[in-house]
Amino acid sequence: MFVFQNYLMAKPKRIVVKIGSTLITNHGAGVDRALIHEWVRQIAALTAQGHEVLVVSSGAIAEGIKRLGWKTRPHQVNQLQAAAAVGQMGIVQVYESAFREHALGTAQILLTHDDLSDRKRYLNARSTLTTLIDLKIIPIINENDTVVTDEIKFGDNDTLAALVANLIEADELIILTDQRGLFSADPRKDASATLIATAKAGEARLEAMAGGSGSALGTGGMLTKILAAKKAALSGASTVIADGREADVLLRLLSGEAIGTRLSAESLSLQAKKTWLAGHLKTSGRFILDAGAVKALTQDGKSLLPIGVTSVEGSFERGEVVSCMNAKGLELARGLSHYSSSEAAKILRCATTEIEARLGYIAEPELIHRNNLVLV
């Protein structure tokens, strides 16, 4: 067991930790409970420091294969799906009991890539995860291998972790693997290979290095990690690829120590999102604002609340892009609506505290959050 050390308090961050199946299942031998308890101990310490941590965990299929007594990995999708369903139980049980030892609750979240490509489901998933974070619950996220088809053949939880980082606007994605990081060449074949300590996410040379001709690192999954870092950078998250067996790896990374390969993001998350909102989407409807809401958006940098909207025009669903207009019909801003047009019409001119009474539920306190809104 690794020895706990006290590290200097770092600025609180929102972190996605992705743990590979090779680590989780000890190269397929079965769930490595000791290692999971070790990562959980570190995550508990980070949570106590104020960090918000989400876990993307692989290993369900490998654990299911072991529990079912199969000697080799099957090729039929239905058998892989069955193995995932069986194995997920074992993975979650270990996480649940380990976090309980630190008085932390957990939640199981199973996603598919479709969940994060459909805008309405995307917002629903985001709302669930942010609520769990607010409740100090640790989400344990995995791809829903019990229902996916093509994705199950590739096991690309690195991409899923990057999409989750985008989804909840994480500051950092940490990918724990069985390798020290990205090397200039395959260190198993080239003694002169050196560890790449830092680089910019999305650099073309990284993809060539990780998955170029003759590279064993690509088949070992390093290319998917490089591409995941590129995706995570779109929302401003930097990525670290490190050996999950390194002593106190999470604690040391969050204290600023250089471990593994850090791929930094060049763009800030809000800048990237607002550029996307301003230039790449057509609006589906319009909110007409009163003078107070106009000032709140254009001068005070506030979110758009129902009380400041006088009318709704057009037909749109939750998560679609809506224009914000002044009384003269001039577009001032646009953003992602937390409510459909029919829902928004029912809560016009009402205070946030009245939303639930009018709708029977409350999705978000704002019509448009300031992070999802851009002035035009």
Residue 4's pLDDT band, with cuts at 50, 70 and 90, is very low
Does 148 lie in the same domain as 19? yes
Is the domain of 217 the same as that of 287? no
Query: By the 8 A CB rule, do 6 and 49 touch?
Result: no
Distance of alpha carbon 229 from alpha carbon 265, whole angstroms: 8
Confidence of residue 154 (pLDDT cuts 50, 70, 90): very low
Confidence of residue 239 (pLDDT cuts 50, 70, 90): very high
What type of residue is 137?
Answer: I
- The two three-digit tokens of residue 49, written as one number: 């420091």
Specify the pLDDT at position 332. Answer: 95
- Tell me, what's the pLDDT at 6? 43
Question: For residue 346, is it within any domain?
Answer: yes
DSSP state, residue 63: H
Residues 287-315, mean pLDDT to the nearest whole number: 97
Average confidence (pLDDT) over 84-105:
94
Distance CA 8, CA 4 (A): 13
59 or 368, which is more confident: 368
Compute the distance between CA of residue 327 and CA of residue 319 in angstroms, rounded to an integer: 24
- Looking at 267, 291, 316, the residue that finishes a domain is 267
Question: With 50 as the cut, is the pLDDT of residue 216 above it?
Answer: no
The verdict on 186 and 121 lying in the same domain is yes
Alpha carbon of residue 168 to chain centroid: 6
Contact 330, 273 (CB under 8 A): no
pLDDT over 70 (residue 301): yes
Say whether 239 sits in a helix, a strand or coil. strand
| CATH code of the domain in which 161 resides | 3.40.1160.10
Distance CA 368, CA 123 (A): 12
> Is residue 74 included in any domain, yes or no?
yes
pLDDT, position 155: 47
* Closest to 1 (Cα-Cα) out of 248, 257, 255: 248
Identify the three-state secondary structure at position 174.
strand
pLDDT, residue 147, reads 66
DSSP 195: B
| CA dist list (Å): 145 to 18, 85, 307 | 16, 8, 43
- Looking at the structure, tell me whether residues 263 and 291 fall in a common domain: no
Q: What's the pLDDT at 365? A: 94
The answer to whether 19 touches 58, Cβ cutoff 8 Å, is yes
Residue 69 lies in a domain: yes
Q: What DSSP state is assigned to residue 176?
A: E
| Co-location of 263 and 186 in the same domain | yes
Question: Is there a single domain that holds both residue 147 and residue 278?
Answer: no
Confidence of residue 8 (pLDDT cuts 50, 70, 90): very low
Does residue 110 carry a pLDDT above 50? yes
Q: What is the mean pLDDT of the chain?
A: 86
Model confidence, pTM: 0.74
Please list, in sequence order, all residues whose beta carbon lies within 8 angstroms of the beta carbon of residue 365, skipping any fewer than 6 positions away: 305, 352, 355
305 neighbors 271 (Cβ within 8 angstroms): no
Question: Given this model, what pLDDT does residue 185 score?
Answer: 81
The pLDDT value recorded for residue 271 is: 61
Tell me phi and psi for residue 353, to 5 degrees.
Answer: -70, -10
Average pLDDT over residues 272-296: 79
pLDDT, greater one: 317 or 295: 295
85 shares a domain with 151: yes
* 5: in domain: no
256 and 305 within one domain: no
* Cβ-proximal residues to 311 (8 Å cutoff; 6+ apart), any chain: 287, 288, 348
Is residue 3, in this structure, part of any structural domain at all?
Answer: no
pLDDT on residue 208? 76
207 lies in the same domain as 339: no
* Range of weakest confidence among 139-143, 194-198, 280-284: 280-284
Q: The domain spanning residue 357 has which CATH number?
A: 2.30.130.10
Look at residues 224, 250, 267 and tell me which one is the last residue of a structural domain: 267
What are 313-339's pLDDT values in tens digits? Answer: 999 988 888 999 999 999 999 998 999
Looking at the domain assignment, is residue 279 inside a domain? yes
pLDDT at 103 over 90: yes
Give the residue from 241, 244, 245 showing the smallest Cα distance to 224.
241
Q: How would residue 123 be classed by pLDDT, with cut points 50, 70 and 90? A: confident
pLDDT of residue 274: 67
Q: Is the pLDDT of residue 242 over 90?
A: yes
Q: Is residue 4 part of a domain?
A: no
241, 267, 293 — which closes off a domain? 267
> Is residue 20 domain-resident?
yes
119-134 helix and 157-167 helix, angle to the nearest 10 degrees: 80
Query: 320 with 119: CB under 8 angstroms?
Result: yes
Token pair listed for 214? 């003759």
In the structure, what pLDDT confidence band is assigned to residue 100 with cuts at 50, 70 and 90?
very high
Residues 319 and 366 in one domain: yes
Structural domains in the chain (count):
2
Give the distance from CA 348 to its chain's centroid: 32
Could you tell me if 263 and 279 lie in one domain? no
Instruction: Supply the pLDDT for residue 215.
Output: 34
Structural domain boundaries enclosing 70: 14-267
pLDDT bin (cut points 50, 70, 90) of residue 46 is very high
pLDDT of residue 211: 60
pLDDT of amino acid 268 = 56
Taking the C-alpha atoms of residue 108 and residue 27, their distance in angstroms, rounded to an integer, is: 23
Mean pLDDT of 253-268: 89
Pair 127, 256 in one domain = yes
DSSP assigned state of 368: B
